Structure 1
C-alpha cells in the first residue's frame, strides 16, 4: 500500500490532527496519535502508517484517533498555541515571499522571468507537437522518460504563469481576507 495516505485518513476523522500533521506541529500530532493508537508516544510516522494501513479501521481505532485529537487540542491550549495562527503565519510568509519576488521584478526590470516563461512555453509547445504529430518510441522506459519530461515542463510553465498572474493560493488568501472583513462588519 505505497499509495496509502494515512494523514488524509486521520484528517477525515479528526480535522485538528489533519491540520497539525500538515504543519509545524507534526511532531506533537504524531506523539498523540502514537500514544492513542500504539501506546507509544515515540512512534514514528511509518509505524502509524503501518498501523492504519491494515485496511481494517475499527471503532477502537476511530475512537483512539478522536481521543488523540482531543489530547492534542488540550495540550495546545495548555501551551497557548493556536494552530490556525501558526498556519496563517506560514501562509503569510509564503505570500510575502511571492510579493518580494514580484517587487524585485518591478524594481530591477530583469528580463529573466519572461525569458524563462518563453523557453518553457516553447518547450511545452514543442513537446506537445511531438506528441500530437509524432510517434512515441516503442521502448516503455524511454516513453516514460518523455512523458515525465513533458509533465515537468508543464509544471514549470504553470509556475511561471502563476508568477505573472498570481496563484490560486494568493486568490484564496484574498478571498479569506474579504470574508474576514465581511464577518467583522456583521458583528
Structure 2
C-alpha cells in the first residue's frame, strides 16, 4: 500500500491536502505528528512503514487539528480540499493546452527515464544503495515526481471519483 493511501485512510483531511497546493502543510502536519525533523516525503514514507499504534493515533489527532485549521481558512469539508487539488491539475492542463509548451513533456520524459533508470540500476546491482543514501532519497523524489506526471497526464482516482459523482448528480441518480 502506498504511504499516501495509508495517510488518507487514517487522516482524511491531511491525505486529501497532500495532492494539492496545500501539500506542504499536510507534509508538515504528518512530520510533526511523528516527531520528524526531516519534513520530506522520503522521511514520511520511511516513518509510516514502521509506524507504531501510538504514532498512528498521533496522526489521527493531527488530522483533527488540521481539519480545524482548514475550516478556519474556509474549507468546510474534505470535498473543498479535493476541489482545490482538482482545480490545480485542471489549471495546469489548461495552461499546457493554451501554451503548447514542450517543457512539461520533456520533464515527464526525464523524470520517467531517471526514475526507472535508477530503479533498474539498483535492481541489477550496478548502483549500490548501501554505499549511497542520497541515491535512495533521489529515488523517492523521482518516484513522487513520476506519480505527479502520471496524475497530470492520466488523472487520478480523486478526479475519477469527482467525475462519477458529477455524472450521477447530472443524471438524476442519487
TM-score range normalised by the length of the shorter chain: 0.5 to 0.7
Shift, 1:99, TM fit: 1.0
Cα RMSD (Å): 3.2
Residue 144, structure 1, aligned to residue 140, structure 2: no
Match of residue 125 from structure 2 = 134
Cα drift, residue 135 of structure 1 = 4.5
Structure 1 stretches of 5 or more lacking a match? 12-17, 30-80
Question: Structure 1 residues 8 and 175 mapped into 2: Cα distance closer, same or farther (>3 Å)?
Answer: farther
Match of 2:69 in 1: 26
The two structures have a TM-score, normalised by structure 2, of 0.55
**Distance in 2 between the 1:114 and 1:28 partners?**
37
Distance in 1 between residues matched to 2:75 and 2:106, nearest whole Å: 43
Cα deviation code 1:4-25 (max 9, x no counterpart)? 13355459xxxxxx5x5443x2
Q: Is residue 159 from structure 1 mapped to residue 148 from structure 2 by the alignment? A: yes
Distance 1:118 1:27, change over 3 A: closer
The answer to whether the 8 Å contact 2:86/2:159 transfers is yes
**Match 1:92 to one of 83, 87, 97:** 83
| Counterparts in 2 of 1:170 and 1:148: CA distance versus 1, 3 Å | same
Structure with bigger RCO (C-alpha 8 Å, 6+ apart): 2
For residue 132 of structure 2, give the secondary structure of its aligned residue in structure 1.
Answer: helix
Within 5 Å, which residues of 2 pair with 1:47-126? 83-84=76-77, 87-126=78-117
Alpha carbons of structure 1 residues 175 and 27: separation in structure 2 relative to 1, 3 Å: closer
1:173 positional shift: 1.5
Greater C-alpha radius of gyration: 1
Structure 2: 5+ residue stretches without partners: 1-33, 36-50
Is the CA contact 2:122–2:128 (under 8 Å) kept in the aligned structure 1? no
* 2:56 is aligned with 1:5: yes
| Deviation of 1:158 (Å) | 1.3
Partners of 2:155 and 2:125 in 1: how far apart? Answer: 34
